[in-house]
Chains A and B, each alone.
Chain A
Amino acid sequence: MSPDAAPRLARGMRLREDPARARWVVMGPERLFVPDEIALEILRLLDGARSVDAIVDDLAARYAAPREAIATDVTVMLDDLQAKGVVTA
């Protein structure tokens, strides 16, 4: 995914709380993804307007990690979620 792409959850995908199991999940047809803490932070920033670059900036401001490392992590994760049909850009 390129730095200026503006990813969002794919049609039919919903990020919601799963109170019975005290966690958050991404739900789609016959599928359920349980994001880890970092993935959840990224997923919450997806709105179809904010660019990958802006997402990385946001995370870099909040986490004590080199911006470059965060950019790599975010891109790898979004590419993976795009391949799985969870995210679209």
Chain B
Amino acid sequence: MTPTPPAPLPAPLGLLAELTHRCPLRCPYCSNPVELSRASAELGADEWGRVFREAAALGVLQLHLSGGEPAARRDLPEITAHAAAAGLYSNLITSGVLLDAPRLKALAAAGLDHVQLSVQDAEPGSADRIGGLPGGHARKMAFAEAVHAADLPLTLNAVVHRQNLDRLPDLIELALTLGAGRIEVAHVQYYGWALRNRDALLPSRAQLDAATATVTEARARLRGRLVIDYVVPDYYARLPKACMGGWGRSFLAVSPAGRVLPCHAAESLPGFDFPNVRDRSLAEIWTRSDAFERFRGTDWMPEPCRGCDRREIDWGGCRCQAFALTGDAANTDPACALSPHHHLLDLAVQDAAVADADFTYREMPRLPSPV
């Protein structure tokens, strides 16, 4: 019998470039780390250009220009041009509040492929309260018109939770009104800022069931007009999701300061020294670094993952969620019904049902005051 050769290392498909952590919005479920990077630590446009070329050479096809708010960077057109020159499909993930029509035109001219606009709710007052920016929703609506005028394709991204899920039909209607070809209905994922606000954000079972019915009906009615992406949230799931398609399998993220992460939330995990594009090539980081090898494949898995026939389907679920809920990132994701920690999700749902709904808003770190 010959030993099975090791599976070839897959090439990454997607790169999330977090250009900055600066953002005028203060969403209480922001996916940025609780410790935000300062502007002075950000990679320059030329450094991003090198990262994009290295990513394309590795096999990356899709690039997400994100943040924070990527348009907080004045050199965004230059960065976008680097993406186009590297041959990457570029998707701008934006709040829309910092981009007017001329700036958007400059991005389109630089080769931007697609715009993904976030909205916090369909009802302006509620949207502005959730985003923590008065007048923000109206600016987003004006921005969507500018996207249309620039003839760029638009996806509407609606992060949903207890305080806006009842207006999901209105959010879908808003996507149609704004001329979006696609809407992403994304349930909050509870680590980082969102974990701090979990009691104010977790939807009820009844809300979730209504939302699922809404999506099913809208998908049939709007077939060919609007693509609706929707995934059931982990807190009501029986099977975990293959987070990022598996750790170090198809995706990488680069933080504003150049740290390379297997998932944009991985900085919440302790005991990692994430490699930096300023010190090492992306290829070296992808193929040979502790950060990417730690949870890659199946060798690291505990039971019940190790003996499970789904281990190469869900790859053990989300490491950040395992750490957030059990204190150990190497545990099975508690979203799995087979996890010994699965009951923690039910407890969280019960706690949230009786909690009040005040937010802890995301804030940038303040400089220490002089003494």
Using CB atoms and an 8 Å cutoff, list the residues of chain A in contact with chain B. Answer: 10-12, 14, 16, 18, 20-21, 25, 27-30, 32, 82-85
Contacts and interface: CB of A to CB of B under 8 A. Distances in A.
B340 interface: no
B11 A12 contact: no
Contacts of B229: 30
A29 B224 contact: no
A73 to B, nearest CB: 19
Nearest to B56: A20
8 contacts: A11-B152, A12-B152, A16-B89, A21-B11, A27-B62, A28-B114, A30-B155, A85-B181
Contacts of B58: 20
Interface of B: 11, 13, 58-59, 61-62, 87, 89, 91, 113-114, 116, 151-153, 155, 181-182, 184, 223-224, 227, 229
Given A11-B152, A29-B153, A83-B224, 17 more contacts: A11-B153, A11-B181, A12-B153, A14-B89, A14-B113, A16-B87, A25-B61, A27-B62, A28-B153, A29-B113, A29-B114, A30-B155, A32-B13, A82-B224, A83-B223, A84-B227, A85-B227
A29 B14 CA distance: 11
A20 B59 contact: yes
Contacts of B61: 16, 18, 25, 27, 32
Nearest to B91: A29
Contacts of B151: 11
B153 A32 contact: no
Contacts of A11: 151-153, 181
A16 B313 CA distance: 28
A25 B87 CA distance: 13
Contacts of B62: 27, 30, 32
B356 to A, nearest CB: 35
Contacts of A16: 61, 87, 89
B191 to A, nearest CB: 21
A27 B62 CA distance: 8
Contacts of B113: 12, 14, 29
B153 A10 contact: yes
Nearest to A84: B227
User: What 6 pairs across the A-B complex have the smallest Cβ distances?
Assistant: A12-B153, A20-B59, A11-B153, A85-B227, A27-B89, A29-B114
A18 B91 CA distance: 18
A18 B87 CA distance: 10
B189 to A, nearest CB: 16
A10 B13 CA distance: 22
A29 B349 CA distance: 32
A77 B286 CA distance: 37
B317 to A, nearest CB: 20
Contacts of A28: 89, 114, 153
A35 to B, nearest CB: 14
Contacts of A18: 59, 61
Contacts of B87: 16
Nearest to B58: A20
B182 A85 contact: yes
Nearest to B57: A20
A25 B61 CA distance: 10
B174 to A, nearest CB: 18
B184 A30 contact: yes
A44 B157 CA distance: 31
A85 B113 CA distance: 15
Nearest to A11: B153
A29 B59 contact: no
Nearest to A27: B89
A12 B111 CA distance: 11
